[in-house]
Structure 1
Amino acid sequence: MIKELPLHLKQSLPPSYFRRYDERADSAFYLYPRFTAHIDDRASAAASQLFRELLPPGGRVLDLMSSFVSHLPPEVAYRQVVGLGLNEQELANNAQLDQWLIHDLNANPQLPFEPMSFDAALCTVSVQYLTQPLEVFAEVGRVLRPGAPFIVSFSNRCFPSKAVRVWVSTNDKQHATLVRRYFELSEQFERTTFYDRSPCRWLSDPLFALVGWARA
């Protein structure tokens, strides 16, 4: 279990940034499955290509805030893909997951895994819903092996009632700056890289990603 974040890090992003229009428990919002694509086919293919380039074949992969699809390249074999999400039916229908569990990161940002137990982690088009992002990013850094990537991808689509205030109040460029700040303030990643993998801005959903590599 990682130690609590220092107060000065928590205060660097005001709590008001992470308020939401709908403050009901996320478990209630996700009580029923939503078998809908959160990005279109072109953006999904772009995410798969990024994963193809950055995820280690044969590695153990953690898929945070997972749903019924993980966008992983189908031809690549991984040792294990573990999904965390909020809806049992969605997770059970995700054929790319070898193991899954219900876990609400906003209610409990601590991950139920041993230190350095994963070779990579993903948070795909869901970072906008995190109300305690620094704690979650720090926990991801704890469970990753040194040098392992954490790929945080995002688009311009969301459930606006559940996305945090700072997200719905900013644009794509500012989203990238915000996610980079999450990486920096978590103090668990040695470097970050920004990727713009938008297939065609006017014909499909955009796709952006910030990737951080876990510190040794």
Structure 2
Amino acid sequence: MLAASQRQKLDEANDSLFYSAPRFVTHVDERFIEQLTELYQEKLQPNSCILDLMSSWVSHLPPDMEFARVEGHGLNAEELAKNPRLDSYFVQNLNENHTLPFEDRTFDAVLNTVSVQYLQYPEQVFAEMYRVLKPGGIAIVSFSNRMFYQKAIAAWRDSSDASHIALVKRYFESVKGFSQPTVVANQGPAMNPLLQMMGMASSDPFYAVLSERMEVLVG
């Protein structure tokens, strides 16, 4: 789906090197996090099995919702070890190895938070997300307009927020069996241009694209 040029990064060094040092920071503002947690509260079910792909030291899951299992994935073991919501975790570079180490139909939900822009082979990874989801399970991919610019793929780096939404929808649509993706978008309040000129950024826009693994009907 993506051309080779669209998969390129400005920093082509191995991603494991870039993420070797832990970053115990949040990469979006509090309002984004609140909206994401509210979305999880609405879409996730208690006592379900969750896969948090490309995670870190926080998962933004509703604090009052208990899950049967939360599996974390990322590129920095120190960050994952600090995440209090993870029952277990694994380190894997999805740009080198696209296959997730789980059986088919393992999870009720797969989450990806502010990281989809770094996937060089999203078609394969989204196919894996589909494979490990149970029928009726949901995938939630959330993002804003922040990024590590040198590590984002060209297709993301050189396009607008609207194009990002369309791109993630195309990732879902490239996998047969995902439902028609739906979009949640909140660009946040407009900011006074004078404040922007002074370098005071507005709140982070919130975007999420959601899709479900449809039930397979056996005739």
2:159 corresponds in structure 1 to 170
- Correspondence 1:126 to 2:115: yes
For residue 187 of structure 1, report the CA deviation from its aligned partner: 1.9
TM-score, normalized by length of structure 2?
Answer: 0.91
One-letter amino acid matched to 1:206 = P
One-letter amino acid matched to 1:205 = D
CA RMSD of aligned residues (A): 1.1
For this pair of structures, how many residues does the alignment match?
A: 205
CA distance in 2, matches of 1:177, 1:33: 31
Bigger Rg over Cα = 2
- Following TM superposition, the consecutive aligned residue runs of length 4 or more in structure 1 with deviations greater than 2 angstroms are 197-203
How do 1:197-216 and structure 2 match up within 5 A? 197-200=186-189, 202=191, 203-216=202-215
Select which of 23, 35, 57 maps to 2:24.
35
2:69 corresponds in structure 1 to 80
Structure 2 runs not aligned, ≥5 long: 192-201
For residue 197 of structure 1, report the CA deviation from its aligned partner: 3.8
For residue 198 of structure 1, report the CA deviation from its aligned partner: 4.4
- Contact 1:147–1:215 (Cα < 8 Å) also in 2: yes
- Correspondence 1:180 to 2:149: no
For residue 200 of structure 1, report the CA deviation from its aligned partner: 3.5
Q: Secondary structure at the match of 1:113?
A: coil
For residue 192 of structure 1, report the CA deviation from its aligned partner: 1.0
- Contact 1:43–1:198 (Cα < 8 Å) also in 2: no
One-letter amino acid matched to 1:23 = E
1:5 corresponds in structure 2 to none
TM-score, normalized by length of structure 1?
Answer: 0.92
- Contact 1:142–1:188 (Cα < 8 Å) also in 2: no
How do 1:91-102 and structure 2 match up within 5 A? 91-102=80-91
